[in-house]
Amino acid sequence: MSKDALHGRGARTNASGRYERFAREAYDDGWAAEEVRPLETIVTPELAKSIISTNQSPDISVDQSINPYRGCEHGCIYCYARPNHAYVGLSPGLDFETKLFVKSNAAELLEKELAKPSYRPRTIMLGGVTDIYQPIERGYGVTRSILEVLHRWRHPAALITKSQLVIRDLDLLAPMAERGLAKAAISVTTLERRIARVMEPRAAAPHRRIETIRALANAGVPVTVMVAPIIPGINDSEIEKILKEAANAGATGAGYVVLRLPLEIKDLFQEWLRKYFPDRSTRVMSIVRGMRNGRDYDPEWGKRQKGEGPYARLIADRFARSARKFGLDKPRLPLDHTQFRRPIEAGGQPDLFHECG
């Protein structure tokens, strides 16, 4: 048994969320070394009341999204979704990656929402908060059930993941892409296995993500590589290499986001830095604050994704130059909204002249 109870986890602590009444504090009673037990993942099914989320953020390319899971076992230390666990009285730290919730009625809800006469089709992003293909998807299959609904009614969908499990659903994604109804983004933050192992402990290894780009592209699914987040002093030296590898694998677009540290993430990330990169921690945070107007994070739209200042401009210039060099600077691919067919509501009559299949 591992002597580290946190082996395979991203966060190092389980500090209380900002809405909890009492604060937790770890305490060693002298027996810890003899009673080390790895943390287990606990999954709780829940019945969601709605499934399509909307947003008006001007720096996000889609305004509709579906997230079938809350919490994420990938355990990425930088994940900006961590603070959401505080809304249910759990810690954005270890709770976020060990206490997961699955929206078991997602597909049923989606079909009902698409059937509403008031619904107008716009691209739905699958993911964007937690990973839609995190490990528990293998057993629960909620993401696949959502894709089956979108495929059935010819609704446009984009997705983002860092998991190779997406290849399982090529039987749905490939025909959707052929109709101009699907595209994918694969997150590749580093090509260094050591960094990936501690930064994204239960996500696919870097070479598997490149293989995933290749498999999607070979199946005709347009693929964007997302270098997100770019962390100064950790993975920013890899920008050019990542884009080159992704382009060679068949990616046709590229995007990036610089490190974001809202709310509890700033403390979790700095704990992680001191654990795994103690020699770089001061420099990393100094550059981060230099891109955030002297703060750990600046939530202002237009700045939160890219940062500002000399270092942020350097990253932007390097990224743009490499994207052009490797042919990844093409305009965003629009998806077709005109093929959508509204689901037949219970008791309704099908259109006899509607195309089948």
Residue 178 or 38, more confident: 178
User: Is the confidence at residue 63, as pLDDT, over 90?
Assistant: no
pLDDT digits (tens, 9 = 90+) for 306-320: 999 999 999 999 999
Could you tell me the pLDDT band of residue 213, with boundaries at 50, 70 and 90? very high
Closest CA to 189 of 235, 223, 222, 151: 235
The neighbouring-strand residues paired with 186 are 161, 225
How much is the average pLDDT of 254-280?
95
SS3 state at 21: coil
C-alpha to C-alpha distance for 158 and 146, rounded to whole angstroms? 12
C-alpha to C-alpha distance for 325 and 273, rounded to whole angstroms? 33
Residue 353 or 64, more confident: 64
DSSP letters spanning 217-243:
HHTT--EEEEEEEE-TTTTGGGHHHHH
Residue 7 or 221, more confident: 221
| Whether the model pTM is above 0.85 | yes
pLDDT digits (tens, 9 = 90+) for 3-40: 566 677 767 676 765 555 545 555 454 545 444 456 78
User: Is the confidence at residue 346, as pLDDT, over 90?
Assistant: no
Mean pLDDT score across all residues of the chain: 89
Query: Interhelix angle for 142-152 vs 106-115, to 10°?
Result: 20
* Domain range 43-325, its CATH number among 3.20.20.70, 3.30.360.10, 3.40.50.720, 1.10.10.10: 3.20.20.70
Query: Going by C-beta distance under 8 Å and a sequence separation of 6 or more, which residues neighbour residue 79?
Result: 10, 72, 96, 130, 265
Question: What is the token pair recorded at 241?
Answer: 């290499």
pLDDT digits (tens, 9 = 90+) for 115-137: 999 999 999 999 988 999 999 99
Phi, psi of 172 (to 5 degrees): -100, -45
Q: Give the number of other Cβ atoms within 10 Å of residue 184's Cβ.
A: 24
Question: What is the token pair recorded at 233?
Answer: 């002093």
Question: What is the token pair recorded at 276?
Answer: 């795994």
Instruction: Give the per-residue pLDDT at 330.
Output: 86
- Counting residues of the chain whose pLDDT is more than 70, the rounded percentage is 86
User: Is the confidence at residue 257, as pLDDT, over 90?
Assistant: yes
Question: What is the token pair recorded at 147?
Answer: 């894709």
